Chains A and B, each alone.
Chain A
Amino acid sequence: MFEAIAFYLFAALTIGMFTITVMTSQALYALTAMAAGMIFISAFFFILGADFLGVIQIIVYTGAVMALYAFGMMFFDTTRTLVEKRENPRTIFLLGVIAATLVVFIVISPIISTHLEARYPIEAALGNSQAIGLILFTKFLVPFEVAAVMLLVAMIAGIVLAGKKMDKSLTLMAEEEIALMSAAQTKPDSQEGAH
């Protein structure tokens, strides 16, 4: 009984939160609703007995959405409503419906054809995190390592792109030094104007 109550409660909450994310024109509402929705999804993992994945869902998405907030802070005045430019509302609607139908079809197809069975069933003797570790490092070792290498590549690329003036700290320099440095640059600094 508790499982059913929890499932329907969190299902309603998750759908509600993501509806707000899509429908609102307020950046702060959208981000907050998305963070909440991502955290509510973890409840389904807990209901299914996958504690480890549930907690990982919380850890990963609180951090990820926090980074989105940082971007939101940089690009928008988050206390104001954003006026979006919609040139072709019909095309957007059509594409949206097609995409949603496709997603529903992809998710439902294994259930319809009743070929839904666990390839690596849960071992009762193993704990939650042990089971995941075992599967990751035996059956899915190659995809796991490839993902790790991809993340490493992304990290190095990020450092190369962002780290051009990392040896200098504007906080520690005197005003004259900063003026000299910006004068020495051939291109004038792009002004950080108000939006």
Chain B
Amino acid sequence: MDVAFIIETIVKIVVILLVFSALAGFGTYFERKVLAFMQRRLGPMHVGPYGLLQVAADGIKLFTKEDIIPQNVVKPIFKLAPVITAATAFMAAAAIPFWPEFTVFGYTVHPIVSDINVGILYVMAVMAIGLYGPLLGGMASANKFSLISAARSAAVFISYEVITGLALLAPLMMVGSLSLIDINNYQSAGITHWIAWSQPVAFILFWIAAFAETGRTPFHLVANDHEIIDGFGTEYSGMRWGLFFIGEYANMFFISFVMAIIFLGGYGDGSIAGAFQLLMKVAFFFFFFLWTRAAWPDIRPDQLMWLCWKVLMPIAVLNVVITGAVILFKLKGGM
């Protein structure tokens, strides 16, 4: 084991942790501003220029707030739950390539912590563990609303995991590899080679399921603010609640990266222009999360289940079957 390799890996991990923790903080600022503009308000304006320092103010508030553990909760699980959400969100980032490889002072840097050859499966699996946070937080709180939220998070998890898996299957069959770097290189020839054109159904399905996986608005049932009073977060305060928040926003960024890499060509041929395009795509997906929150109401739990099992899943299965048939005929024709 090379010392340089160990140091490089540790530096990468620290950079990813710092950048995405900060981005999660700024994510709340973007969200409040975007929502405000769409509702013809100004949003945060008082702290700093255009309210930019609101993030710092919120951070100080969260860090210095008293850490309350209510009576009758199951203490160890209650303390563990927010850590699971935040930690798994960052663990998932280990297999995501954030930037094409570049050379600094003759030393080639691969901006991915570990290029395992089952990258995309690993990312989705570890992100899925993140849903244990709301589940455990809700079940450990001695609170009816939290328990309802926990039940919903279990239901959402079990159903939408199926959609993500089936939607991913079709593009993976075309690429023939599970590594995100291979998937990116498959589309490196330019915009016409993006998988979004050859697999539009899988793209839309995965996009819909991404909202469920991150618990964003049309599927915000896990912590429905107006119906079950922030669900699993009801009993939490201070930084424990803040960890749930960081986890949610980091997950939004990471799933945006995954969607941009799988369906919209990623960083393309690896030039600087391609790298900036990747960031633009990620920014678009992140903006879309906020846009949807401003434009759509939440749907009911039974509508969510209906959508999953009676609409999305049959479409996803059909998509996989058709893709398989086409690939098979192409193989036959080629031979």
Contact = CB atoms under 8 A, between A and B. Distances in A.
A79 B1 contact: no
Interface in B66-103: 72-74, 76-77, 80
Interface string A26-48: 10110010010001000000000
Contacts of B279: none
B135 A55 contact: no
Contacts, number: 88
A73 B132 contact: no
A28 B141 CA distance: 11
Given A2-B1, A28-B77, A59-B125, A79 B140 contact: yes
B283 interface: no
A2 B117 CA distance: 20
Contacts of A127: 117, 177
9 contacts: A51-B122, A56-B121, A58-B125, A58-B129, A63-B157, A66-B154, A73-B150, A129-B178, A171-B300
Tell me if B's interface is mostly helix, strand, loop or mixed.
helix
Given A32-B136, A79-B140, A128-B117, A67 B158 contact: yes
Interface in B137-171: 139-140, 142, 147, 150-151, 154-155, 157-158, 161, 165
A29 B74 CA distance: 9
Contact of B154 (A29, A70, A78, A129): A70
Contact of B302 (A2, A55, A58, A171): A171
A79 B126 contact: no
Given A52-B121, A66-B154, A79-B139, 11 more contacts: A28-B140, A29-B76, A32-B80, A59-B161, A62-B125, A66-B131, A73-B147, A78-B74, A79-B73, A129-B178, A169-B302
B128 interface: yes
Interface of B: 1, 72-74, 76-77, 80, 116-118, 121-122, 124-126, 128-129, 131-132, 135-136, 139-140, 142, 147, 150-151, 154-155, 157-158, 161, 165, 177-178, 300, 302
A168 B140 CA distance: 33
Contacts of B132: 35, 62, 66
B125 A28 contact: no
Nearest to B120: A55
For the complex of A and B, 4 pairs with smallest distance between CB atoms: A58-B125, A55-B121, A59-B125, A51-B118
B128 A59 contact: yes
Interface string A101-138: 00000000000000000000000000111000000000
Contacts of B302: 169, 171-172
B121 A69 contact: no
Contacts of B151: 70, 73
A146 interface: no
Contacts of A26: 74
Contacts of B136: 28, 32
A155 B10 CA distance: 46
Nearest to A130: B176
Nearest to A53: B118
A58 B1 CA distance: 27
Nearest to A39: B129
B108 to A, nearest CB: 23
Contact of A52 (B74, B118, B142, B157): B118
A69 B117 CA distance: 32
A1 interface: yes
A78 B177 contact: no
B66 to A, nearest CB: 23
A165 to B, nearest CB: 13
